[in-house]
Structure 1
Amino acid sequence: MAMLYPDSGLAIDPATQSCELEACLELGRLDGSVAMCPPSVRQLLALRSLRNLLVSALAGEGHEFTEHRFHAWFAGLATLSDEPALGKRDPRAICETILTEFGHSSWQELADIAPRFKRALLAPVALWGVGGSSDTDHIDIRTIVDGAHGLVSQLPPSPHPLADLRELHVSLGESLLFAPSEPHYQTVMLGPRSVTVERHAPPSPRWAVEMVWGERWQRSGNLSVALPFPGLIRADAVNTIGSIDPSDRCAARGMIAMALRDVTHRLRQNIVDAGAACERIKALQAGRRASSRAPALIELLDGFGPLRSSQIEILLDATRLGVRAILSGLLDSGIVARTKLSGVWLFGTTLPTQQLYPVSCDASGGFAFSPAAIGEYDASMADIDRLLARYERGAADTD
């Protein structure tokens, strides 16, 4: 079997070759899936891609949080983490910079929603970041994003995506900005004594490269849409791709291929899940007036996650009374649920977050559940409702 890209005669084991082939196949399937997406699915995919990149970037910067905490923080109702943020870049500055960058994306759906989400970002400003202030962190993060653009633009053109990724990992390992960070030591005076303290540098901001990488592949023809690729870069591969040991370089190739395979598979699954959600939203709207804003709101909550009403007003460009009326109807029908936090309601959809049944494509290229799957789903939900009712009656009798 021929190697997928040359490496000075490096012997590649069959498992690595197989993984490289699978990665290329997954990338091709992803591009085909994106190209065939109907507009509603692509819109929902853009919402999920935006949310996933924000979460990935914050986690990559060392912030520890849950998904629920992220949405509460994004709505301005809580800090992102209970852990001290000293020495970490301001999470709000990170999100603002990402949303500004997405506003210039060649992916139109992403470019359209990013500025609205930037206005809807109500998260508190960190009192102390890496640079000592939020303003300094904004400059630092903008420098990181500009550095990502510069690093990617300087890579030599390559017709093969895996060769492109290999060159990227080599360049990352040589970059002062993006190479994996190393701890450093600082001498601190404690009275008459000097103590050496280990200081951990901020994590490598690889999320910035993963954010802009899709633009490169869109321009080269590997992708029809400039998707963000959170999780594409492997720190262990960055450390070993330039090794003089052939076994290390071979292992790095395998890690790069596995990362591409896993990320593209995950993105393709996102498309399938988005298609299933769109069909579910369409079914829920049966019998409602065509001018209703409810589908847009359900799509927003399903794609991004829980939001407060003031954020929904910004994102839908709707009045407070209008949003209140839409939410009231959706709450009554059980499509939307709400949770109170710090005296404010957060609204989220009750649609399944994962695909429950295989999704097929109809003749028009759209996604559709089979009638049997819908019937089975409704029967299962009825069984669950009966079990919950029985549990609640038992709990009431116990009380």
Structure 2
Amino acid sequence: MEPCDPWSPEDTLDARDLARAQARSAHALGRLDGRLASLPALEERLFCADLVRRTLLGALTQAGYLDAPQRFDAWFAGLARGPERVPEAPSSPLAIVRALLAEMARHPWEPLALTAQTLQRCARFVGDAMTLSPEEQAREVYATSRALDRARALVEALPMDADGPLPFAALAALCTAATHDPAFAPMEAGVRTFDTGETWVALAGLRPITPLWALDVAVSAHLARRKSLARALPMPGLFTTERLLMAHAADRQRLQLALALNVVATAHLAALDTAHARAALLTQRLAGLRRNSRAGAAWILLAGFAPLGLDQLMDAIGVSRRGTYALSAALTEAGLAERQSGQGKVQLVATERAKAKETPGPVFSGALGTAVEEFDDAMADLDRLLARPGNQGATGR
């Protein structure tokens, strides 16, 4: 049995453990920075679609909606209601999603901004079971926008001269600032009382949830400003209530932040690997289509974000109703998507049945490729005809 040292606090941490964790995190950040600096355009778009999804799901999970990953696809398509609301959640899932999409739609990285704008157009999110009054909706919008504003203010106040491009000191400082900020400070659990008919019973409630997802998004600007990353990427899951509560043990807090940053950076790297494989597959499988075909743009959203209904495709990539049928046929023939019907709606679901290296060439038959091309030409001629000023009266508009 080891002798007890009365002068040694319980939270003593071996400095070597902290150094190793920070070294791994710095290595992951360096790899991520290098990949982002030389990312091809197609991989950018695939990565951004996946990044928006992971950011939204990370925020919803942090806000207490643990069933969000299972419900998200049907909710986005307007086929089912969203995650079940919990009393401890700071805002509704719809308010959080709308606030984050609006935030990313203004992002300085153009591919991410365009992806968020596209998803804003084609989203069909179903509202909560209980319809909120206009006053309640205004309060929720204010709460989510205020959380993002407060997070930006805390990030902008961080020092720039500590650790050079390494963000560890800044992350610890941001945790300390959030712990003392009314918008993010951990709150004490309340007490719930129940009348059993014979006596009153008091039970400890759950701790109210603060919108730490706003810090995950806002910290990206600081990482880009201090040259830790080439792009201001959101860092889903970096800040948690448990890490804020470790303010009394600074070294352990730094260790947990370094470990969390390594996990988030590694998740981004894995997403980049997936985007690279998908780009190769998409390039090869759609090689038989025309260059201006929108099938590739549709599949980027299908594979990176979520399944889409035909009406969503019309808003997402600007095709007509008939154009969605040709697009659906092209993706299905290429083995990149399949049609699924449910609740009276047809959805396209991305599939990746064949790896690029296993496919020797385009799988389009000559007949289908010619038919798709002729259909595209006919639709383009029709669009030009309808766009003439003299034909506006014939359309009934």
TM-score by length of 2: 0.79
Is the 8 Å Cα contact of residues 212 and 240 (structure 2) preserved in structure 1?
Answer: no
CA distance in 1, matches of 2:102, 2:85: 27
State the superposition RMSD in angstroms.
2.7
SS in 1 for 2:18: helix
Distance of aligned partners of 1:131 and 1:140 in 2 relative to their CA distance in 1, 3 Å threshold: farther
Q: Which residue of 2 aligns with 1:386?
A: none
Cα 1:352/1:229, change in 2 over 3 Å: farther
Determine which of 164, 182, 185 is the counterpart of 1:179: 185
With over 3 angstroms needed to count, the CA separation of the structure-2 counterparts of 1:318 and 1:85, relative to structure 1, is farther
Distance 2:192 2:338 in 1: 51
Identical-residue share of aligned pairs (%): 27
Match of 1:162 in 2: 168
In 1, Cα distance between equivalents of 2:192 and 2:86: 20
- Assess if the C-alpha contact under 8 Å between 2:54 and 2:236 holds in 1: yes
Give, in whole Å, the separation in 1 of the partners of 2:188 and 2:342: 39
2:156 aligns with 153
In structure 2, the CA distance between the partners of 1:191 and 1:11, relative to structure 1 (3 Å rule), is closer
- Separation of aligned partners in 2, 1:64 and 1:341: 24
Structure 1: gaps of 5 or more residues: 1-9, 357-368, 379-399
CA 124–86 in structure 1, closer or farther in 2 if over 3 Å, else same: farther
Residue 213 of structure 1 is matched in structure 2 by: 219
- In 2, the alpha carbon distance for the partners of 1:42 and 1:104 equals 17
1:250 CA displacement: 2.1
Could you tell me which residue of structure 1 aligns to residue 325 of structure 2? Answer: 324
Q: Distance in 1 between matches of 2:126 and 2:179?
A: 34
Q: Which amino acid aligns with 2:43?
A: V
**Aligned length in residues:** 344
Shift of 1:343: 1.8
Q: Could you say which residue in structure 1 is the equivalent of 2:263?
A: 262
User: Which structure is larger by alpha-carbon Rg, 1 or 2?
Assistant: 2
What aligned pairs does 1:1-399 form with structure 2 within 5 A after superposition? 12-65=14-67, 67-81=69-83, 83=84, 85=86, 88=89, 89-126=91-128, 127=130, 133-157=136-160, 158=162, 159=164, 160-185=166-191, 196=202, 198-240=204-246, 242-243=247-248, 248-351=249-352, 374-375=357-358
**Residue 52 of structure 1: SS of its match in structure 2?**
helix
Counterpart secondary structure, 1:302: helix
Provide the secondary structure at the position in 1 that maps to 2:282: helix
Q: What is the deviation of 1:190? A: 8.6
What letter matches 2:315 in structure 1? I
Deviation at 1:348, TM superposition (A): 1.3
For normalisation by structure 1, the TM-score amounts to 0.79
Residue 301 of structure 2 aligns with an amino acid whose one-letter code is L
Q: CA deviation at 1:66?
A: 5.5
Q: How far apart in 2 are the matches of 1:86 and 1:237?
A: 22
Return the offset for 1:179. Answer: 2.3
Shift of 1:198: 4.3
Contact 2:13 2:252 in 1 (8 A): no
Contact 1:86–1:128 (8 Å) recurs in 2: no
Contact kept, 8 Å, 2:96 with 2:144, in 1: the verdict is yes
Cα pair distance change 1:198/1:136, threshold 3 Å = farther
**Deviation per residue, 1:51-78 (Å, 9 max, x gap):** 1111111111111325452010011110
Question: After superposition, what is the alpha-carbon deviation per residue over 1:114-156, rounded to whole angstroms, capped at 9, x for unaligned?
Answer: 1221122211222267998333212211111111111211222
Unaligned 5+ segments in structure 2 are 1-11, 361-397
Query: In structure 1, how many angstroms separate the alpha carbons of the residues matched to 2:183 and 2:113?
Result: 27
**Secondary structure, aligned partner of 2:319:** coil
Quote the Cα distance in structure 1 between the aligned partners of 2:194 and 2:274.
Answer: 53
Tell me the SS of whatever aligns to 2:308.
coil
Q: Distance in 1 between matches of 2:217 and 2:347?
A: 28
CA spacing shift, 1:130–1:220, aligned 2, 3 Å: farther
Alignment partner of 1:176: what SS? coil
- 1:171-221 deviation digits (Å, cap 9, x = unpaired): 122222212333112567899976646443542211111012111211222
SS in 2 for 1:172: helix
1:84–1:28 Cα change, 3 Å: closer
Q: Secondary structure at the match of 2:348?
A: strand
Q: Residue 133 of structure 1 aligns to a residue in which SS? A: helix
